[in-house]
């Protein structure tokens, strides 16, 4: 029964990267439907099992973060936005708790990495298909993305998957999966280029640095093939990708040194002004767009997860959120050298990407935190040998 429910968990993670691309009923997505079924069946299993694991440090911190969001409801400047955010927070907390209950072994969590990369592949294929059909967006239809997705958010989603895919290709190097994951990396890089996301390009470069540091893990033939294909892809991209995309990407230095990052600095300045008026308690979970409206003249998301949390939940909420990040970093440092590099690369990409996106309520954010923050659950595999169906020493090397 538990293995069957784990399959739902796997498909839930698989559908996260293309969450907004498939809608079933109104605003309901396929991912939400799978999550609902997974949640209900998992709760029934837990009730039947009559055993609830003691929460680890991560779940305690996340519960405090969510609880503080509920407290901010008493002084929020927008009850509807706060209620909507609190519903999302509770769903994310339930998701992370079920990750701990169902995917508590290192081997199971490792297979969830496969699910994330393969799910991202769905969005990459969707994007490349839109490119082949010249179905672009933005000025002159020269930016491309998957259906229903913002190109910058998709760029970060793909960038996170690059070091994971490379690491999986190393672990499966005697399998056809290794070739699939390496081929995926080339598709992912091409897709990020097509999004014309400047932040996505920077984030992808971090994944490439990880590849360079671990290239020696591959045999010489694989290394030669990888370099040749990468060179070919570069030449192909220069000749086939619209010149406007390269012109946009070429403004990275200018935007960082003298630009306003597409009005982001203006939005951040409004958030800082709002924070100065109420630094401790914030204006209510999810209420950032309403509060900055009096400074901007229009409502707008923060486009920065840390400023968003700071304004909405005050210094108290930000301290809890930062504590979760620090816990994830500390968990990274407990792994062996290669795995440590993998997760530090993923966290670096994530932290950089979320400095330009409002992702504190995104499923991918809490998927990463749950994978790292619940590392201690892997040690408790021996507590449930009959339910896991795995030998105690059968631990996947990605998360050991």
Determine the Cα–Cα distance for residues 380 and 387; give it in Å rounded to an integer.
Answer: 12
Task: Give the C-alpha separation, 248 to 262, whole Å.
Answer: 12
Reported as half-sphere exposure (CB side, CA atoms, 13 A), residue 138 has a value of: 16
> CA–CA separation, 312 vs 304, rounded Å?
12
- The full DSSP string for 317-341 is HHHHHHHHHHHHHHHHTTS-HHHHH
Segment 78-89 shows an average pLDDT of 95
Model pLDDT for residues 237-249, shown as the tens digit of each residue: 888 888 888 888 8
Q: Is the Cβ–Cβ distance between 182 and 226 less than 8 Å?
A: yes
Short-list 55, 144, 39, CA closest to 92: 39
Of the chain, the percentage scoring pLDDT greater than 70 comes to 88
Q: Comparing C-alpha atoms, which of 92, 96, 72 is closest to residue 83? A: 72
Classify the C-alpha dihedral 149-157-190-172 as positive or negative.
Answer: negative
H-run or E-run covering 285: none
Other residues' Cβ atoms within 10 Å of the Cβ of residue 260 = 12
Q: Find the DSSP H helices in 173-304.
A: 176-195, 198-213, 220-240, 243-249, 252-257, 264-277, 288-291, 293-296
pLDDT tens profile 142-161: 789 998 899 999 999 999 99
The token pair at 300 is 């707008």
Taking 50 as the threshold, does the pLDDT of residue 110 lie above it? yes
Find out whether 155 and 197 touch, Cβ atoms under 8 Å: yes
Q: C-alpha angle with apex 69: 68 to 75, nearest 5 degrees?
A: 100
Question: Do 177 and 219 contact (CB within 8 A), yes or no?
Answer: no
Over residues 316-341, mean pLDDT: 92
Report yes or no: 83 and 103 within 8 Å, Cβ to Cβ. no
Upper half-sphere CA count for residue 167 (Cβ side, 13 Å): 27
Which token pair is 340?
């440590």
389: confidence class by pLDDT, cuts 50, 70, 90: very low
Long-range contacts of 327-334 (CB under 8 A, 24+ apart): 327/57, 327/58, 327/61, 327/372, 327/373, 328/368, 328/369, 328/372, 328/373, 331/372, 331/373, 331/375, 332/372, 334/375
Give the per-residue pLDDT at 257: 62
Alpha-carbon distance of 20 to 24, in angstroms, equals 11
Q: Which of 12-16, 93-97, 185-189, 254-258 has the lowest mean pLDDT?
A: 254-258
What DSSP string runs through 84-130? Answer: HHHHHHHHHHHHHHHHHHHS-SHHHHHHHHHHHHHHHHHHHHHHHHH
Supply the mean pLDDT for the chain. Answer: 85
pLDDT for residue 260: 62
Q: Are 103 and 387 in contact (CB under 8 A)?
A: no
157-206: pLDDT as tens digits: 999 999 999 999 988 877 888 889 999 999 999 999 999 899 999 999 99
> What does the pLDDT read at residue 166?
94
């Amino acid at each position: 029964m538990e293995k069957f429910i784990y399959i739902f968990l796997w498909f839930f993670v698989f559908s996260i990267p293309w969450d907004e691309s498939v809608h079933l009923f109104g605003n309901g997505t396929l991912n939400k439907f799978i999550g609902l079924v997974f949640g209900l069946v998992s709760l029934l299993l837990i009730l039947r099992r009559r055993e609830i694991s003691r929460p680890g440090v991560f779940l305690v911190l996340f519960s405090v973060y969510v609880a503080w969001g509920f407290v901010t409801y008493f002084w929020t400047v927008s009850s509807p936005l706060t209620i909507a955010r609190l519903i999302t927070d509770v769903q994310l907390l339930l998701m992370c708790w079920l990750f701990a209950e169902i995917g508590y072994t290192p081997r199971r969590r490792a297979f969830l990495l496969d699910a994330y990369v393969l799910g991202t592949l769905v969005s990459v294929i969707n994007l490349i298909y839109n490119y082949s059909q010249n179905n672009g967006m933005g000025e002159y239809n020269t930016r491309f993305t998957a259906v229903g997705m913002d190109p910058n958010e998709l760029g970060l989603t793909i960038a996170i998957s690059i070091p994971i895919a490379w690491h999986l290709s190393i672990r499966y190097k005697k399998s056809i999966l290794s070739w699939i994951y390496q081929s995926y990396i080339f598709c992912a890089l091409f897709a990020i280029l097509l999004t014309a996301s400047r932040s996505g390009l920077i984030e992808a470069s971090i994944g490439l640095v990880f590849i360079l540091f671990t290239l020696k893990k591959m045999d010489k033939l694989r290394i030669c093939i990888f370099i040749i294909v990468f060179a070919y892809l570069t030449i192909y991209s220069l000749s086939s990708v619209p010149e406007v995309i390269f012109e946009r990407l070429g403004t990275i230095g200018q935007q960082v040194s003298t630009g306003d990052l597409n009005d982001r600095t203006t939005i951040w300045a409004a958030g800082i002004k709002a924070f100065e008026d109420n630094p401790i308690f914030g204006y209510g979970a999810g209420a950032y767009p309403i509060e900055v409206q009096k400074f901007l003249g229009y409502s707008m998301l923060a486009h920065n997860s840390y400023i968003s949390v700071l304004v909405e939940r005050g210094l108290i909420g930000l301290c809890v959120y930062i504590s979760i990040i620090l816990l994830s970093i500390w968990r990274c440092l407990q792994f062996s050298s290669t795995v440590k590099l993998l997760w530090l690369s993923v966290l670096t990409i994530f932290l950089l990407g979320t400095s330009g996106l409002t992702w504190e309520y995104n499923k991918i954010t809490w998927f990463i935190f749950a994978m790292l923050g619940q590392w201690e659950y892997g040690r408790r595999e021996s507590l449930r040998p009959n339910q896991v169906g795995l030998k105690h020493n059968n631990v996947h090397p990605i998360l050991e």
